[in-house]
Amino acid sequence: MTESTCKLLIIGAGPGGYTCAIRAGQLGIDTIIVEAEKPGGTCLNVGCIPSKALIHAAGEYETITGAAEGKSALGISCARPSLDFAKTMAWKDGIVRRLNGGVAGLLKKAGVRLIPGNARFVDGKSIEVETRSGLQMIRAETVVIATGSEPIRIPSLPFGDRVISSTEALALTEIPNRLVVVGGGYIGLELGTAFKKLGAAVTVVEAAPRILPQYDGELSAPVGRRLSALGVTVLTGAKAKALAADGKALAVETASGEQTSLEADKILVTVGRRPATSGFGLETLDLDMIGPFLRIDDRCRTSMRGVFAIGDVTGEPMLAHRAIAQGEMVAEIVAGRRRAWDRVSIPAICFTDPEIVTVGLAPSEASGQGFDVKTDLFPFKANGRALTLEREDGFIRTVARADNHLLLGIQGVGAGIAELSATFSLALEMGARLEDIAMTIHAHPTQSEGFHEAALKSLGHAIHI
Amino acid sequence: MAERVVRLPDVGEGIAEAELVEWHVKVGDIVREDAVLGAVMTDKATVEIPSPADGRVTWLAGNVGDLLAIGSDFVRLEVDGESEQAPKTAELASPASSVGAQSPRHAASAPRATANAPPNGMKSQPGAAPLHHAANRPLAAPAVRLRAREAGIDLHQIRGTGPAGRITHDDLDAHLTHGRTGTRATPNPAQTAVTDIKVVGLRRKIAEKMSIASSRIPHITYVEEVDVTSLEELRAKVNGQKRPNKPKLTLLPFLMRAMVRAIAEQPHLNAHFDDEAGIVHQHAGVHVGIATQTPTGLVVPVVRHTEARDIWDCASEVARLAEAARNGNATRDELTGSTITITSLGALGGLATTPIINHPEVAIVGVNRIAIRPHWDGAAFVPRQMMNLSSSFDHRVIDGFDAAQFVQRIKLLLETPAMIFIDS
């Protein structure tokens, strides 16, 4: 067995882990990062990036198909398009490959040693890695657990053959004729919408009374309307029971209690993700937990000295940019800098059609925390830019304290508004008041004017509504 | 699962409310039957409230220092089994519901728990509840927060001048400059922190009592020196020859006996003044309160019927009561009902004090430190053991003349200790 030592050892090269490693390298810390798969983690390999590639491709195909069917209001017509799905997937894989290489290159440039293999805790300072060339023992002063998360399995619907997780859905070689999506959360709806646009017949089965149950009804409604316009069948209040005996259909109990069966070529199960905390000897450290997650403090320290944890293993929201911010912070703490988690908000984006952006507190959360709030929204149907993009669905909503107008939360739903999350986050992080937004010139014609107008409306003088 | 409500029981003497002095549990704790949930205080007794069942704490009645009504909800527990108050069957997320990007679990937490959360007491979980303590978070841009953290400055210490109290770079600069100037002027940095300590329990009782005494009673304080050389000689001899089953004699029992003799001549000093009714209740029995320092604060155990006790009896009773008071197991009767009080700080007694009368009494005798001082005997300075008595009187009902006479009488008795024991 070979042995090596380092100051900082990171387990998992997802967005949190590799960011931590690169920053540590920049700070001159002797760093090793261990990863069983390709660098980039769920996000880059089987999550955010490939799904957004697929969503983009599906959107393009749907636009052209619409034109071919004579639905274009712009006067564009064309012959019925064809889709070489293998090529689509190859294009997507190319992006992933390019980013894999990019991460590996950045790690190398920062002087970080990337060791491919499965890590296993021997104790809080020693890790055994199964590499292709044999077992390797690594001893480190500080360890960062960045092992991420994995899709939750339903016992009655084990993955395999027709039953797939998001990972397999992003690696399909052909578009299924009939796709059933179990779970109407953001992952299921993003992929379900994309496959519908690519030509699949899609049915979404959601147990809650409405789709996107984590969001308020105001935000999920435009997405529901669009799903219906696209022809996606949505069964809410419905429970996915089990696979039919022949394995070709899904038994479902509908909201009215009726037992039905949905024939499917593929059944995509997206009922959430759970932290990856087992299978690598973490149990032996006996770290404090909060539910299924590792308990961390405001410096991402676990209950064991010298052991940090970042990303999905540490709790909700399980989002790459949270892990990235934590990873960067931990590297600086390890380098001896004074840092602690003091972020005001973690933005979240749902890449459905239309997209949903949430930053900070929803109106009910703000009221729940005892704030007297002012909530106002500005609809895109009164926004010129939205009309020129043929997408007047959605709105931007501001949540502010009634007493001093401090913004507590900003939410929006609309086509392509993911990019507006930056301005929303910045506003909250800078401690902006409604007046700050009102007194900032928002370029015309853009969707961002909706943000300006929502703030003006809360102040009692919206112009365009 | 069912909810079990633990109500605040009647903890005695028909009182309507009790003060919450301590929580032994917090929300989320698992408790066993008979485990102590918390403690309440009535007048002078502290009562611990046990759990009637095994369960998980879901709700607490309030904060330490709150007054709780007898019979009101004290703690709510989640216990196994059925109850008529079975919780509404919440629509739990079945496996087929999706975990979205943002967890709503904090939004679902009880608003009361949030509202009562201590301002800075809890560490927020990074990410899990990004805005959990939004109300108390100092308002500052990320760059300001970073600069402050690197300079080791807690932004809670800075008053923001920006809109909505936002802390600007200028505010931080001003704080840094001010801090540096201060550091140059003195090697010790100025400590600007203010720690808020809630006045609860015994401390609150003391505070209330002292306020009443000080605001309602016009005190006259009279200080006189006493030559205790003879008394100290007598005390040393008696203690040297006493039988082992007898208590060691301190100065206190002698003073108590001397006070009994003095009170016999001036009974109106052993009294309670009910100023609302305009009546002085003059007591025949001399119940001497002994101000006693305990780990939790000042209490006054009472030696009852000192007039009927001999010197040994006084000594053993004082020792017993002081012990009980310090251990916190003095009974309510032992802590109430004094008619006159002695306060003594022993070796810390100082030169003179201004004792506060133990309301509604009318006199308090303060004992200062014994010290050897030169005394002019008419021909030469001789070393004598001297002690001051600092005594306060309610000037509404005691004239200065009476006060002086009382103290002079005690002085005479202590300086010629044999007189304490000679029948008048």
The CATH number of residue B128's host domain is 2.40.50.100
Same domain for B302 and B221 = yes
Give me the active site residues of B, please: 395, 399
How does residue B190 score in pLDDT terms, banded at 50, 70 and 90?
low
Separation of alpha carbons B383 and B375, rounded Å = 6
Given CB atoms, is A313 within the 8 Å cutoff of chain B? Answer: no
Tokens of B286: 């001399």
Same domain for B80 and B34 = yes
Instruction: Provide, as residue numbers in chain A, all residues whose Cβ is less than 8 Å from the Cβ of B164.
Output: 401, 404-406, 431, 433
Separation of alpha carbons B280 and B273, rounded Å = 4
Whose CA is closest to A398, among A380, A373, A417? A373
pLDDT (average), residues A114-143: 94
Is B135 within 8 Å of B122 (Cβ atoms)?
no
B101·A319 Cβ contact <8 A: yes
Separation of alpha carbons B366 and B351, rounded Å = 11
Give me the active site residues of A, please: 444
**The pLDDT of residue B122 is above 50:** no
Whose CA is closest to A152, among A8, A275, A25, A284? A275
- Comparing alpha-carbon positions, the chain B residue that sits nearest to A188 is B98
Lowest-confidence segment of A134-138, A159-163, B183-187 by average pLDDT = B183-187
Instruction: Provide, as residue numbers in chain A, all residues whose Cβ is less than 8 Å from the Cβ of B128.
Output: 290, 314-316
Domain termination residue (choose one: B138, B156, B187): B187
Report the interhelical angle of A85-109 vs A15-26 (nearest 10°). Answer: 30
Work out the percent of chain B whose per-residue pLDDT is above 90.
38
- Comparing alpha-carbon positions, the chain B residue that sits nearest to A324 is B127
Same domain for B220 and B148 = no
CATH of residue B399: 3.30.559.10
B148-169 as b/e: b if 16+ CB within 10 A: bbeeebebeebebebbbbbbbe
Q: Which amino acid is at B2?
A: A
Whose CA is closest to A219, among A382, A386, A357, A380? A357
Give the closest-approach CA distance of B321 to chain A in angstroms.
48
Instruction: Provide, as residue numbers in chain B, all residues whose Cβ is less than 8 Å from the Cβ of A188.
Output: 98
For B229-238, write each residue's pLDDT tens digit: 999 999 999 9
For chain A, the straight-line distance linking the first and the last C-alpha, in angstroms and rounded, comes to 71
Give just the sign of the alpha carbon dihedral B289, B293, B299, B302.
Answer: negative
B131·A345 Cβ contact <8 A: yes
* Beta-bridge partner residues of B49: B38
Same domain for B223 and B175 = no
Q: Give the pLDDT confidence score for residue A259 in this predicted structure.
A: 93
Same domain for B235 and B170 = no
Q: Which amino acid is at A182?
A: V
Could you tell me if residue B81 is inside a domain? yes
**The pLDDT of residue B378 is above 60:** yes
How does residue B8 score in pLDDT terms, banded at 50, 70 and 90?
confident
Is A194 within 8 Å of A55 (Cβ atoms)?
yes
Separation of alpha carbons A296 and B267, rounded Å = 70
Whose CA is closest to A272, among B275, B304, B360, B98? B98
Could you tell me if residue B62 is inside a domain? yes
DSSP-derived 3-state class of residue B323: helix
Give the closest-approach CA distance of A261 to chain B in angstroms.
16
B126·A298 Cβ contact <8 A: yes
For A213-227, write each residue's pLDDT tens digit: 999 999 999 999 999
Separation of alpha carbons B288 and B268, rounded Å = 15
pLDDT (average), residues B76-100: 49
Separation of alpha carbons A400 and A374, rounded Å = 5
Is B160 within 8 Å of B166 (Cβ atoms)?
yes
Q: Give the pLDDT confidence score for residue A424 in this predicted structure.
A: 98
Q: Give the pLDDT confidence score for residue B181 in this predicted structure.
A: 40
- Tell me which residue range forms the domain holding B46: 2-114+124-187
Report the residue of A369, A371, A424, A437 to disrupt the B interface, i.e. the one with the largest count of B CBs within 10 Å.
A369
B107·A362 Cβ contact <8 A: yes
Q: Give the pLDDT confidence score for residue A381 in this predicted structure.
A: 96
Could you tell me if residue B330 is inside a domain? yes
Element (H, E) at B401: helix B400-415
Could you tell me if residue B409 is inside a domain? yes
Element (H, E) at A238: none
Residue B257, phi-psi category: left (phi > 0), alpha (psi -120 to 50), beta (remainder): alpha
Domain termination residue (choose one: B136, B152, B187): B187
For A156-202, write each residue's pLDDT tens digit: 899 988 999 999 999 999 999 999 999 999 999 999 999 999 999 99
Give the closest-approach CA distance of B30 to chain A in angstroms.
15
Same domain for B237 and B182 = no
**The pLDDT of residue B183 is above 60:** no
Look over chain B and give the mean of its residue pLDDT values, rounded to a whole number.
81
Separation of alpha carbons B169 and B172, rounded Å = 5
How does residue B40 score in pLDDT terms, banded at 50, 70 and 90?
confident
Same domain for B157 and B241 = no
For B323-373, write each residue's pLDDT tens digit: 898 888 888 888 889 999 999 887 788 999 999 999 999 999 999 999 999
Tokens of B296: 């939790």
Look over chain A and give the mean of its residue pLDDT values, rounded to a whole number.
95
Element (H, E) at A273: strand A273-275
Same domain for B166 and B205 = no
Domain termination residue (choose one: B142, B165, B187): B187
Is A228 within 8 Å of A234 (Cβ atoms)?
yes
Give the closest-approach CA distance of B141 to chain A in angstroms.
4
Report the interhelical angle of A15-26 vs A320-334 (nearest 10°). Answer: 30
Is B366 within 8 Å of B391 (Cβ atoms)?
yes
B130·A343 Cβ contact <8 A: yes
Separation of alpha carbons B222 and A396, rounded Å = 78
Q: Give the pLDDT confidence score for residue B3 in this predicted structure.
A: 83
Same domain for B254 and B142 = no
**The pLDDT of residue B114 is above 60:** no
Burial of residue B391 (number of CB atoms within 10 Å: 0-12, 13-18, 19+): buried
Could you tell me if residue B119 is inside a domain? no
Given CB atoms, is A365 within the 8 Å cutoff of chain B? Answer: yes
Q: Name every residue whose Cβ is closer than 8 Å to that of residue A14 and which is 6 or more positions away in sequence.
A: A40, A41, A42, A43, A44, A146, A148, A311, A320, A323
For A284-308, write each residue's pLDDT tens digit: 998 999 999 999 999 999 999 999 9
**The pLDDT of residue B196 is above 50:** yes
Give just the sign of the alpha carbon dihedral A412, A415, A416, A418.
Answer: positive
Is A406 within 8 Å of A400 (Cβ atoms)?
yes
For B128-178, write each residue's pLDDT tens digit: 333 344 567 888 998 899 889 888 888 888 888 888 888 998 898 888 887
For A378-411, write each residue's pLDDT tens digit: 999 999 999 999 999 999 999 999 988 999 999 9
Cα B103 to Cα A191, A214, A362, distances in angstroms: 21, 7, 12
Same domain for B228 and B153 = no
- CB-closest option in B98, B101, B145 to A348: B101
Instruction: Provide, as residue numbers in chain A, all residues whose Cβ is less than 8 Å from the Cβ of B105.
Output: 316
Tokens of A207: 């147990």
Q: How many CA atoms lie within 13 A of B214 on its CB side?
A: 9
Same domain for B134 and B20 = yes
Could you tell me if residue B215 is inside a domain? yes
**The pLDDT of residue A97 is above 70:** yes
Q: Give the pLDDT confidence score for residue A465 in this predicted structure.
A: 86
Same domain for B290 and B213 = yes
Instruction: Provide, as residue numbers in chain A, all residues whose Cβ is less than 8 Å from the Cβ of B137.
Output: 342, 344
Q: Give the pLDDT confidence score for residue B152 in this predicted structure.
A: 87
A338·B152 Cβ contact <8 A: yes
Separation of alpha carbons A130 and A127, rounded Å = 10
For B283-306, write each residue's pLDDT tens digit: 999 999 999 888 888 889 999 999
Cα B365 to Cα B337, B406, B411, distances in angstroms: 17, 10, 12
Separation of alpha carbons B270 and B284, rounded Å = 8
- With an 8 Å Cβ cutoff, the interface of chain B facing chain A consists of 91, 93-107, 109, 111, 114-115, 123-128, 130-132, 134-135, 137, 139-142, 145, 149-150, 152, 162-166
For A60-69, write each residue's pLDDT tens digit: 999 999 999 9
Is B160 within 8 Å of B168 (Cβ atoms)?
yes
Could you tell me if residue B389 is inside a domain? yes
Whose CA is closest to B52, among B16, B15, B3, B13? B3
User: Starting from the edge strand earliest in sequence, which strands make up the sheet with B381-394, in order?
Assistant: B219-227, B381-394, B363-376, B340-344, B288-290, B302-303
- Comparing alpha-carbon positions, the chain A residue that sits nearest to B126 is A298
For A311-363, write each residue's pLDDT tens digit: 999 999 999 999 999 999 999 999 999 999 999 999 999 999 999 999 999 99
Burial of residue B193 (number of CB atoms within 10 Å: 0-12, 13-18, 19+): exposed
Total structural domains within chain B: 2
Report the interhelical angle of B169-185 vs B142-150 (nearest 10°). Answer: 20
Could you tell me if residue B195 is inside a domain? no
Work out the percent of chain A whose per-residue pLDDT is above 90.
96
**Biggest distance spanned by C-alpha atoms of chain B:** 106
Q: Name every residue whose Cβ is closer than 8 Å to that of residue A339 and which is 6 or more positions away in sequence.
A: A299, A329, A332, A333, B149
Residue length of chain A: 465
Q: Name every residue whose Cβ is closer than 8 Å to that of residue A43 and which is 6 or more positions away in sequence.
A: A14, A15, A49, A320
Give the closest-approach CA distance of A464 to chain B in angstroms.
27
Q: DSSP letter string over A307-362?
A: EEE-GGGG-SS--HHHHHHHHHHHHHHHTT-------S---EEE-SSSEEEEEE--
What does pTM read for this prediction?
Answer: 0.61
pLDDT (average), residues A20-30: 97
- CB-closest option in A183, A370, A435 to B135: A370
**The pLDDT of residue B94 is above 50:** no
Element (H, E) at A140: strand A134-145
Separation of alpha carbons B297 and B201, rounded Å = 10
pLDDT (average), residues A33-45: 96
